[in-house]
Amino acid sequence: MIQVTVDMDKCQHYGQCCFEAEDIFQLDDDGKLVYQAQASDDRLADIESAADVCPMQAITVEQS
């Protein structure tokens, strides 16, 4: 299982992560980021890509 954390104090809601893992990260109707805190191991590559493209480096990924 993958644990996803977004530091909402750093996040500026640019949405770049949504392009890499749209099933995990979305922008809501107000343009604010919402995300799934847990994901299956087969999503690791896309979630890591989402973390890499975040301009604010607000996404942390941990695999348990």
Contact 35, 21 (CB under 8 A): no
* Tokens 């995300």, residue located: 35
Q: Going from the N-terminus, what domains does the chain have, and what CATH number goes with each? A: 2-63 (3.30.70.20)
If you average pLDDT over residues 39-62, what whole number do you get? 98
Per DSSP, the three-state class of 4 is strand
pLDDT confidence tier of residue 64, bands split at 50, 70 and 90 = confident
Q: What is the pTM of this model?
A: 0.94
| Separation in Å, CA 22 to CA 4, 55 | 14, 17
- Give ∠ CA 57-61-64 in degrees, rounded to 5: 165
Q: How far apart are CA 56 and CA 20, in angstroms?
A: 15
